[in-house]
Structure 1
Amino acid sequence: MIDHVRPAQLSAWFASAPEGSRPVVLDVREPWELQTASVRADGFELVAIPMGELPARLAELDPARPIACLCHHGARSLRVASFLQHHGFEHLANITGGIDAWSHESDPAVPRY
């Protein structure tokens, strides 16, 4: 199952993860987008893998860890979460509203584009 969480709810979603598992925010945006706006890892590991590179880099992710997928508005990240689910990942979330919502709800210092 893929959970849908707003950026403001992300900490609570991570808290529901199995004990001892370090959560991951998987940013699937393109490199130019990361240069424009990026989140600061706080209580999670930030991993950046552009959506198009994910099939070749899937082994870089641990299916036992909770992974919340992030993009600009939430559409690409939902596709990535579905892809991960299809490949055996279980504790997944799509960050609804993406980095744009992150700027509104969690960190106004994150630029909007």
Structure 2
Amino acid sequence: MKTFFYVILLLGFATTAWGQDLDVATIEVTQVAAEVEMGATFVDVRESPEVTDLAYDLPGTLHIPLSELPGRLAEIPSDRPVILACRSGRRSVQAAKLLQENGYATVSSLAGGIIAWQAAALPVRQGYPTLEKKEAAPSMSCGGHQGKGMGKGQSASCCSKKSGESTASCGKQSSAAKGSCCSGKNQ
């Protein structure tokens, strides 16, 4: 009977140790904002549909799905701490291991993922917009005039790269006071 008890006890320890990744540091949800404020990079490794449905509302969050991470490592700074997050913490551990294997020194996984984030009543966004480019409407305002002659699906801009040149069919420039692209700003 005593031997049976020890076997059960050893099996319990073995399965607990097997399920944990002791070489990947974890961070609690309550510590994330302070770490990001001190310069850590926060990376959400969930897939795009998950992020569109529910996203971390944390300024500067990078969204790089785990499936794309190997080809997008260059987007993550290696000279500062990186916090990886997912839904529950499982994928973020995989992502952390990948970063460690590629020379990232200070990497951690968010314990419990967005599930723990929500349980702690931390801010989230629902219906987060995708990062895909959207085409301009066929009739775009330019300096108070409507663009003319553009077909469906065509996009227009008030100005070309050179400040002051109109590329919209209205041929007018918006005033710099209105802060349009024709002002030469944001070129």
**1:54: how far off?**
0.6
Shift, 1:9, TM fit: 2.4
Counterpart residue number, 2:57: 40
Structure ranking higher on relative contact order (CA contacts 8 Å, 6+ apart): 1
User: Given the two structures, how large is their TM-score scaled by the length of structure 2?
Assistant: 0.51
8 Å Cα contact 1:28/1:76 also seen in 2 = yes
**What's the secondary structure of 2:104's corresponding residue?**
coil
| Greater percentage in helix | 1
One-letter amino acid matched to 1:25: F
Q: CA RMSD in A?
A: 2.2
Q: CA-to-partner distance for each residue in 1:33-90, whole Å, 9 max, x for gaps?
A: 0011111124xx2000000101111111111121100000000000000110010001
One-letter amino acid of the counterpart of residue 7, structure 1: V
Contact 1:72 / 1:97 at 8 angstroms: preserved in 2?
yes
Distance change (3 Å), C-alpha of 1:109 and 1:82: closer
Counterparts in 2 of 1:46-57, with a 5 A limit? 46-57=61-72
Q: Which amino acid aligns with 1:58?
A: L
**Given the superposition, is the C-alpha separation of residues 109 and 11 from structure 1 closer, same or farther in structure 2, using an over 3 Å criterion?**
closer
- TM-score, length-scaled by structure 1: 0.81
Alignment partners' CA distance in 2, 1:108 and 1:89: 28
SS at match of 2:109: strand
The one-letter amino acid of 2:75's match is: E
- The farther-off stretch of 69-78 and 97-106 is 97-106
Aligned residue runs from structure 1 range 79-98, under 5 A: 79-98=94-113
Q: Tell me the equivalent position of 1:2.
A: 24
How many residues in Structure 1 have an aligned counterpart in Structure 2?
104
Measured after TM superposition, the shift of residue 2 of structure 1 is 3.2
Q: Max radius of gyration: which structure?
A: 2
Percent sequence identity is 31
Query: Partners of 2:124 and 2:72 in 1: how far apart?
Result: 30
Q: Is the 8 A contact 1:103 1:110 kept in 2?
A: no
Q: Which runs of 5+ in 1 are unaligned?
A: none
Distance in structure 1 (CA, Å) of the matches to 2:33 and 2:46? 21
